[in-house]
Structures are given as structure tokens and as C-alpha cells.
Amino acid sequence: LLREGACVVLADIDETALAAANDELSKAYGKDFVRLVRVDVTSEDQVASGFAETAVEFGGVDILVSNAGLASSAPIEETTLALWNKNMDILSTGYFLVSREAFRLFRA
Ligand SMILES: NC(=O)c1ccc[n+]([C@@H]2O[C@H](COP(=O)([O-])OP(=O)(O)OC[C@H]3O[C@@H](n4cnc5c(N)ncnc54)[C@H](O)[C@@H]3O)[C@@H](O)[C@H]2O)c1
């Protein structure tokens, strides 16, 4: 699906998941195909540095797949404010921060 020479940068807060995905993709496509950056999408600084590392290594980004997330589920009367805020932090603020940084890089 990807043109020859394309690379994928995987960003996630979970280093174990990153390592597992790296093993799988490296075996399938070669070790130069994939790079890893540990990023918490709720952190403005970490999102910026993840894109900066990617730009230094590859000169930019062509496609962003923004899919960090969680699937919490509870009846509303049992949903704590902490769980609500966690959902908002990752699924709202996180998507904003990641998209904003990607647009800055796309324009540049
Ligand atoms: N898989 C589906 O069928 C499906 C359907 C509809 C919606 N969704 C939603 O899409 C999103 C992704 O789904 P998925 O199946 O890939 O889930 P997944 O759990 O396999 O992957 C989500 C990834 O996001 C990472 N993550 C969580 N918090 C993070 C943070 N703060 N910073 C960086 N990374 C973080 C997790 O470590 C995990 O690797 C979720 O929000 C899910 O609810 C999924």
C-alpha cells in the first residue's frame, strides 16, 4: 500500500506496544521501514518534540493517522469526573494538539 522507500513513524505512550509493533513491521517490511517515538498526545511538549524528531529524520510528514485512544464504557451515573476528563484529554485535546502540529509541518 505504501510507495517504495516510504517509512512509518509510530507514536504511542505505551513503550511495550511500540516495541511489539516495531518487531512485527520490521519483520514484514525491513528495519528501515519503521521508527518509534514515545509521545503522550495530551502533552503539548511531547507532541511537538515527536514531530520535530520525525522532521529531522525524514524531512517531513506526508500522512498523519491520528488514532491514539481509549475505549472506556460506563453508565453515565457511574462515570467519574476523572474518567470523563481522561477521555477529554486524550480524545479531544490530544487530537487537537496532534493535528495542530501536523498542520504546521504540512504547511512548512
Ligand atoms: N478498533 C475499532 O473497531 C474502533 C471502532 C471505533 C472507534 N475506535 C476508537 O479508535 C481509537 C483507536 O482504537 P484502536 O482499536 O486502535 O485502540 P487501541 O487500544 O488498539 O490503540 C489505542 C492506542 O492509543 C494509545 N494511547 C492511549 N493514550 C495515549 C496517549 N495519551 N498518548 C499516546 N498514545 C496513547 C494506546 O497506548 C494504544 O496503543 C480508540 O479511541 C477507539 O475507541 C476503535
Q: What is the DSSP string of 54-85?
A: HHHHHS--S-------------GGG--HHHHH
Nearest to 61 by CA among 104, 91, 95: 104
pLDDT digits over 73-82, tens only? 899 999 999 9
**Does residue 21's CB lie within 6 angstroms of at least one atom of ligand 1?**
no
CATH class of 8-107: alpha beta
Cell numbers linked to 93: 485535546
Could you state, in order of their start, the residue ranges of all structural domains in the chain? 8-107
What does the pLDDT look like over 28-51, one tens digit per residue?
988 888 999 999 999 999 999 999
Query: Probe ligand 1: pick from 9, 14, 24, max atoms within 8 Å of CB?
Result: 14
CA nearest ligand 1 atom 7, residue? 71
- Predicted TM-score (pTM) of this structure: 0.92
